């Protein structure tokens, strides 16, 4: 074992947090209290720099489906025994005019869909599948973990992570990169295969709890795959590598997600 990975392990151990949906321990040096104001600031500046669509059928659809996914997340956490977990979330759903095939959810529940992804989403269940997946990344703190790892690799010390709090520009870059928003700040790190898989599974469960047909999720990813063939991949794919395994997994998990949804939705 190299000294670097040993130090990283110590740091990971000292900054671990439990993912309530999976029960797994994760490495996260950021609390929601630190993360949410950072995210909100970047979210607001993103909206002010982009054309936000209001008063259209599509925009209303994003908001309606978003509310259902948010309500599903609340029911899911309550079912797991953490009804207060999303208390600090202030959900928001926006559609922006942008040809990129992209969508994301920042910590705290700030969701943005780009118009470019709507033809691939195709229908309500397709939108719900994308939204479930993006919301799952936020609920599972994947961005916070990515930020923590990239900062830890840079600094190898929790002290240095603390120091970053005083550097707004560094913080800005880290959060944009961690959530796949930062085309203006250089390369976007891909989420790891493990995080993708986790977001696929939780996302599928969320769409099932929200009452959407889970069989649409693998179909959505088939469309993503088809859209990427022969040309540069859609932006969502560049951060969300699609493969046959993802489609196969979604088919495999469909029945389980439906059963879980029935159980959760039958509770008073
Ligand atoms: Zn993803």
Answer whether residue 98 shows pLDDT above 60: yes
pLDDT of residue 13: 52
Angle at CA of residue 235, ends 229 and 237, nearest 5°: 60
Q: Identify residues whose C-beta is under 5 A from ligand 1, the ion.
A: 199, 240
Q: What is the pLDDT of residues 75-94, one digit of tens each?
A: 999 999 999 999 999 999 99
Residues 143-154 pLDDT 10s: 777 776 665 555
Does the pLDDT value for residue 17 go beyond 80? Answer: no
What does the pLDDT read at residue 183? Answer: 39
DSSP calls for the chain: --HHHHHHHHHHHHTEEE-TTT--EEE----HHHHHHHHHHHHHHHHHHS-EE-SSHHHHHHHHHHHHHHHHHHHHHHHTT-TTTTTT---EEEEE---S--EEEETTTEEEEEGGGHHHH-SHHHHHHHHHHHHHHHHTTHHHHHHHHHHHHHH-SHHHHHHHTT-HHHHHHHHHHHTT--GGGSPPPPPPHHHHHHHHHHHHHHHHHTT--TTHHHHHHHHHHHHHTTSPPPHHHHHS---HHHHHHHHHHHHHHHHHHHHHHT--
Cite the active site residues. 134
Q: For 22-70, write each residue's pLDDT tens digit.
A: 888 776 767 788 788 888 888 998 999 999 999 999 999 999 999 999 9
Rounded CA-CA distance 252/51 in Å is: 39
CA of 132 to the centre of ligand 1 (A): 10
pLDDT at 187: 37
> 240 C-alpha vs ligand 1 centroid, how far in Å?
5
pLDDT of 184: 34
Ligand 1 centroid–CA 88 distance in Å is: 23
What's the 137 CA to ligand 1 centre distance in angstroms?
A: 7
pTM: 0.82
Per-residue confidence at 182, pLDDT binned at 50, 70, 90?
very low
Residue 167: predicted pLDDT: 61
Q: Average pLDDT of 101-110?
A: 90
Higher pLDDT, 211 or 18: 211
DSSP helix/strand/coil, 164: helix
Q: How far is the CA of 1 from the centre of ligand 1 (A)?
A: 30
Residue 34 pLDDT: 78
């Amino acid at each position: 074992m190299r000294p670097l990975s040993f130090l990283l392990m110590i740091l990971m151990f000292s900054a671990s947090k439990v993912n309530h949906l999976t029960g797994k321990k994760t490495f996260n040096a950021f609390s929601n209290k630190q993360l949410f104001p950072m995210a909100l600031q970047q979210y607001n500046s993103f909206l002010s720099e982009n054309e936000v669509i209001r008063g259209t059928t599509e925009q209303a659809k994003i908001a309606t489906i978003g509310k259902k996914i948010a309500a599903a997340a609340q029911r899911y956490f309550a079912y797991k025994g953490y009804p207060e977990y999303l208390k600090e979330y202030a959900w928001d759903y926006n559609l922006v005019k942008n040809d990129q095939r992209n969508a994301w959810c920042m910590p705290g529940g700030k969701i943005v869909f780009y118009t470019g992804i709507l033809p691939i989403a195709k229908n309500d269940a397709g939108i719900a599948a994308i939204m479930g997946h993006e919301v799952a990344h936020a609920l599972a703190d994947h961005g916070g973990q990515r930020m923590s790892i990239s900062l830890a690799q840079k600094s190898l010390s929790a002290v240095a992570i603390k120091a970053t709090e005083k550097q707004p520009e560094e913080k800005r870059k880290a959060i944009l990169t961690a959530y796949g928003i930062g085309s203006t700040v250089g390369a976007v790190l891909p989420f790891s295969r493990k995080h993708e898989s986790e977001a696929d599974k939780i996302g599928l469960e969320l769409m099932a709890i929200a009452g959407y047909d889970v069989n649409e999720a693998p179909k959505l990813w088939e469309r993503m795959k088809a859209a990427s063939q022969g040309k540069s991949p859609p932006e969502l794919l560049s951060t969300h590598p699609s493969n046959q395994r993802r489609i196969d997994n979604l088919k495999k998990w469909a029945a389980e997600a439906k059963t879980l949804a029935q159980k959760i939705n039958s509770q008073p």
